[in-house]
Structure 1
Amino acid sequence: MQEKPVVSVVLPAYNEAMRLEMAVMEIIKALEKIGYDYEVIIAEDGSTDGTAEIAAKLADGNRIRHLHSDERLGKGGAILRAFEAAKGSIVAFVDVDLSTDLKHLKELIDAIAVEGYDIAIGSRLTKGSKAERPVRRNVASKVYNFLVRFMLGSKVKDHQCGFKAFKKDLILDLGKKAKDRHWFWDTEVLVLAQREGLRIKEIPVEWKQSKDSKISLAKDSGYMLGKLFQMWAEETRSSRKFLVFSIILAVSIIAGIASFVGLENVVSILLSANPYYITLAAVIYALSYVVRGERFRYIVSRLGYTVSLVFSTESVAISQTMNVVTPVRVGDVARAYVFRLRDVPFTTSISGLAVERIFDLAAVVFIAFVAIAVTGFSNPSPFYALAMLFVIVALLAAFSRMENILGRIARDAKRLMDMRNSAVIFVQSAIIWLIDVIVCYLVLIGLGGAQFANPVFLPAVMLAVSIANVSKVIPLTPGGIGTYEAVMTGIFASSMSGMDASLAFAVSLIDHGLKNLITLILGLVAVASLNIRLRELR
């Protein structure tokens, strides 16, 4: 009886008739050199171009086996099925295009058989690796891997290189736990492996992109990022410690203020609100999204990409919606994802978002200082925000000198901050935040009555809105709920004569609640318009 093979190497194959035979022969040649008993399994995944027939001819019932599926299982599904059928105690898979130099195969197998690692993976992003591929794909890969590390806490540098080996007994259980069965499968497996404390070795490899690569940068990047956000959302749902804490904090702040100022008084004020002013405030705030959309459309256009005003506005609405419902600024990443639908690179979107945030802060600080000058009210928050602004700009300048993806983002951001662009973006940002002030002012009149219709109260509203928004820079609660109301109530009650704390709190509740409600409505409309599933964004 033939001795059980030590190594089973899987070749996932979908419509690979042109290069399957050569790949099998090269794999066998490499395996013969490294001295392990082996088998090669062709995991043929519902091909329609004759791959199944070629695989059947290559199969010899001994060293080469063919596993056929009538239906597409997906890359991950085909690999997992082959691993289940494998005879080896060590299982590996290698992409049919052989982009990874097979001279690394021995090192890959030795990492498990000799060094005792649970998983060994080829890496194009570790020191000593050499990868030849177009700049766009290189940037996309680095952004994707950065997001996996940032959002899912992975320590692995390259999750997607098609050159991996596993201890069979471990990967069978781990592979079934992974929910995806296509391109995202191995990313998910590596993240889960780290959660279970498995030892992973990353091996720097020489890698050259195949001329016949079947990966679509736009389509497959969107799929991968959708799955990344989905896994992140599920992780968040399963371990909601921070989210639960932030919600409890928001509710506690609101309840505490209501108790302090008198809940009955607040309810009475809310019930007597003038619907005309509240409705007008809602309409004006909704229209402000057109200005927000135009600002980001302008920013992206300065970096060489053209999108419509409608699309840009929808994307902004979606990102702001995500920022409302989460205690961290996930919406910024979501906007970059949405812009990929128009083939705008992630680095471009992130650069634009960085500039947008800088000018948001600059406009808010400017409005705050104008209000302080007019009212004479002293508050240190704008000074802290101004210091933060200088730090951010200094960091941007420092990052721009780096020769990596962060440096590229920073350099693009700096390009947007020349005299002309800065003037345009600052004016747009100032308009956006002045609209925010006007909305709050209308809410004040709607709740407080005609006595507050005098423009003399406008500077105090400017101060309250600007400082309340500065308080949201550090997102402790979803959408800044609670912290915004607390700051605005305090500013109104202390800076505006004739306004009691109950009215101040009522204004902050309606102002912030109205803005968040409009944002959520516009965000959901935009999601429907762009045919994006919420699960892809959460």
Structure 2
Amino acid sequence: MSSRSVEVSVVLPAYNEASTIRNTVETTLATLAEFLPADAFEVIVAEDGCDDATPEIADEMAAADDRVRHFHSDERLGRGGALERAFQAADGDTLVYFDTDLATDMRHLEELVESIRTEGYDVATGSRWMSGREADRPAKRGVPSRVFNGLARLFLRSDVRDHQCGFKAFDRDALQELMPAVQDQHWFWDTEVLVKAQRRGLRVKEFAVDWEPKGDTKVDLVRDVFGMGSQILRTWWELSVSPRVNRRVGIVAGTLLTLVAVLLMPLYLDPSEVVAKMANANATLVAASAVVYVLSWPLRGIRYRDILAEIGYDSDVGFLTGAIFISQTGNLVFPARAGDAVRAYVVKARRKVPYPSGFASLAVERVFDLLTITMLAGSVLVALVATGNATELLSVVVGDGGTGAGDAGQAGRTAVYLAGVVGALAIGSVLAIFASARSDGNRIEAALSRVSSDSYVSMVAGVLEQFVGDIQRVANDERAFASIAASSVVIWSLDVVTAVVVMRAFGAFDVLALPTLLGVAFFAVSVGNLAKVLPLTPGGVGLYEGAFTLLVVGLTPAPITGEVALAVAVVDHFVKNVVTVLGGLGSMLVLNVSLTEAVAESAESPETAESEMVNQ
């Protein structure tokens, strides 16, 4: 504590305020002196890694007036981080802060201070949006502010109208209680501290202030989208959902949701159609195809173990195989491949793999999958061209298809075009990864800094840089790259063999010699899987069948009709989806993982991911 009997500490968060900081400090001192004894207050400049003359000016003022203190930081801490650091060192029992641009009329400072000092409130905040005193703000400021505050009130159940007004005061004991619970260290700090104060039953006063916008503002992609938006979701989950969800409830909900998704499959694939088509197939061979497909799953676990080991995280094959089952089930249930986020959550929750590394491992796996099936499809295509057998295939793809399977022809052409695009992107991704791995490093923060100067930049850049760095480590190790590539070939070969066994289950395919059968299967399955990479339908249903049917008809003799080819595609895809769902349900029960909880928690904010990354 200071030797002076300081009652009120005012903190001024400052970043590159050289043109205004002197006037702000002088105005603050003069205003405080109007209603407080001369030795009862202090002003702290919480300078947040400035690169202009703000530190020198603050030092000069602190040397000239013992009521002024300067806290310097060599790097950006963020608005919340700079405030917390200064509040911890402040001497007063009433802690105040406001923006250094003095947008809020300083005649309200006495009411702000006395709300805590004499009225007994725990938290006090000015408001630009209280009825009858609404600030006259330009649309580019007012509309985003109203939207943000509306979302905060809706999702976080806050009674405050204006969470981000930079004009707040706290009782020291109350703030000491709140700060450990506040996770954000940037612009969302204001909102989080108000919301959590209300949840803890603290007395919060919001009063109207006169406010005049100073300077210019603009929507900041990093701050407003990655920062503020994700923090509302993170806080909503923390306060409103997580306390009500236990393991048993989550597992039951996830299981029911998966079963509902299976029951809704008739919207995309009629079970009666599957049963009818299977009536013409050898049931023993169909069952054998499922066994072949099951064999590929432990290999997926081994490959994923190798990927994680390369970026520094060890785990057992059984657990990782279960995690993959769960994530692939999620991809069948949830839109836009949200199952991938489920796996990132599972390995984070059970194996302490931070989100950036979890998503990097998924990216590596996806690249190997795409590269492998692109290579398999490309090899068959090259062989067709070399033997002069590609003409009929080209006419089927470009022409009317002649599949004899209704809409499968058009779906097949769409799928083939999509497969070509995805294959090209896969090759481009591999080239980019190799080029990145051999560069001096990534320049993500520099790139983000071109579009944003906010303190969230370093946080977001840190997460992305770890993500890129993990991918680079795998690409740099030639032995690991070769091993993972080899296991990918075996995995997708088993996927093709599954389809071959289903084809054999339909007697018409006995007319094909084994080499031709394998060539047709490798091409049709590979292109079908490339087509379903884009999440246009649940599990790729429709695109896979269309591509498979179109290509089988185009590559085989006349006895192989479009109707038979479509039957094979439907049964093949059905067998693989059933194995995936059953494996996912079993893994959720064995690993005690909630699918719904995983999806929700995988939406955790980049900032929290960064803090975990730092603590590893």
TM-score in terms of structure 1 length: 0.59
Matches within 5 A, 1:132-281: 155=225, 157-158=227-228, 183-184=238-239, 251=267, 269-281=277-289
Aligned 8 A contact 1:372 1:463 in 2 = yes
Q: Which runs of 5+ in 1 are unaligned?
A: 1-20, 42-58, 67-75, 85-89, 118-125, 128-144, 162-174, 189-221, 238-242
Aligned 8 A contact 1:38 1:63 in 2 = no
Aligned 8 A contact 1:184 1:224 in 2 = no
How many corresponding residue pairs?
A: 382
Counterpart code for 2:484? I
* Alpha-carbon distance in 1 for matches of 2:362, 2:492: 17
Matches within 5 A, 1:442-461: 442-448=501-507, 451=510, 454-456=513-515, 457-461=517-521
1:523 corresponding residue in structure 2: 584
Aligned 8 A contact 1:183 1:224 in 2 = no
Counterpart code for 1:485? E
Counterpart code for 1:346? Y
1:96 corresponding residue in structure 2: 179
Aligned 8 A contact 2:508 2:560 in 1 = no
Shift of 1:531: 1.2
Counterpart code for 2:579? I
2:470 corresponding residue in structure 1: 412
Aligned 8 A contact 2:94 2:117 in 1 = no
* Alpha-carbon distance in 1 for matches of 2:186, 2:533: 47
* Alpha-carbon distance in 1 for matches of 2:426, 2:480: 18
* Alpha-carbon distance in 1 for matches of 2:89, 2:530: 59
Shift of 1:281: 0.9
- 1:306 paired with 2:314, answer yes
Aligned 8 A contact 1:31 1:38 in 2 = no
* Alpha-carbon distance in 2 for matches of 1:454, 1:503: 17
CA 267–80 in structure 1, closer or farther in 2 if over 3 Å, else same: closer
**Greater gyration radius:** 2
* Alpha-carbon distance in 1 for matches of 2:186, 2:277: 73
Aligned 8 A contact 2:342 2:598 in 1 = yes
Provide, for residues 515-538 of structure 1, a one-character-per-residue CA deviation record: whole Å limited to 9, x for no partner.
011101111111111212232134
1:391 corresponding residue in structure 2: 428
Provide, for residues 385-441 of structure 1, a one-character-per-residue CA deviation record: whole Å limited to 9, x for no partner.
442123323554569432323233122212112321221111111111100000000
Aligned 8 A contact 2:96 2:168 in 1 = no
Aligned 8 A contact 2:357 2:466 in 1 = no
Counterpart code for 1:444? M
- 1:401 paired with 2:443, answer yes
CA 372–160 in structure 1, closer or farther in 2 if over 3 Å, else same: closer
Aligned 8 A contact 1:468 1:485 in 2 = yes
1:370 corresponding residue in structure 2: 379
Please tell me the root mean square deviation across aligned C-alpha atoms, in Å.
5.0
- SS at the partner of 1:417? helix
Shift of 1:275: 1.6
Aligned 8 A contact 1:226 1:537 in 2 = no
Shift of 1:483: 0.8
1:425 corresponding residue in structure 2: 484
1:471 corresponding residue in structure 2: 531
* Alpha-carbon distance in 2 for matches of 1:81, 1:271: 60
CA 442–29 in structure 1, closer or farther in 2 if over 3 Å, else same: closer
Matches within 5 A, 1:64-103: 64=121, 95-97=178-180
Provide, for residues 245-273 of structure 1, a one-character-per-residue CA deviation record: whole Å limited to 9, x for no partner.
xx99x957x68xx9xxxx99x86542132
* Alpha-carbon distance in 2 for matches of 1:356, 1:111: 55
Aligned 8 A contact 1:358 1:389 in 2 = yes
* Alpha-carbon distance in 1 for matches of 2:309, 2:244: 26
Shift of 1:297: 0.7
2:3 corresponding residue in structure 1: none
Shift of 1:283: 1.3
- 1:320 paired with 2:328, answer yes
1:352 corresponding residue in structure 2: 361
CA 471–111 in structure 1, closer or farther in 2 if over 3 Å, else same: farther
Aligned 8 A contact 1:39 1:64 in 2 = no
* Alpha-carbon distance in 2 for matches of 1:28, 1:279: 74
- 1:63 paired with 2:120, answer yes
CA 386–272 in structure 1, closer or farther in 2 if over 3 Å, else same: closer
Q: Identity rate of aligned residues, in percent? A: 27
- SS at the partner of 1:305? coil
Matches within 5 A, 1:324-343: 324-341=332-349, 342-343=351-352
Aligned 8 A contact 1:269 1:447 in 2 = no
Which has the higher mean CA deviation after the structures are superposed, 274-283 or 450-459?
A: 450-459
1:481 to 522, 526, 541: 541
Q: Which runs of 5+ in 2 are unaligned?
A: 1-86, 99-105, 124-152, 162-166, 195-205, 395-415, 446-460, 600-616
* Alpha-carbon distance in 1 for matches of 2:302, 2:234: 39
* Alpha-carbon distance in 1 for matches of 2:444, 2:425: 22
Provide, for residues 464-490 of structure 1, a one-character-per-residue CA deviation record: whole Å limited to 9, x for no partner.
101101111222001100111111111
Counterpart code for 1:63? G
Shift of 1:111: 11
- SS at the partner of 1:328? coil
Counterpart code for 1:502? E
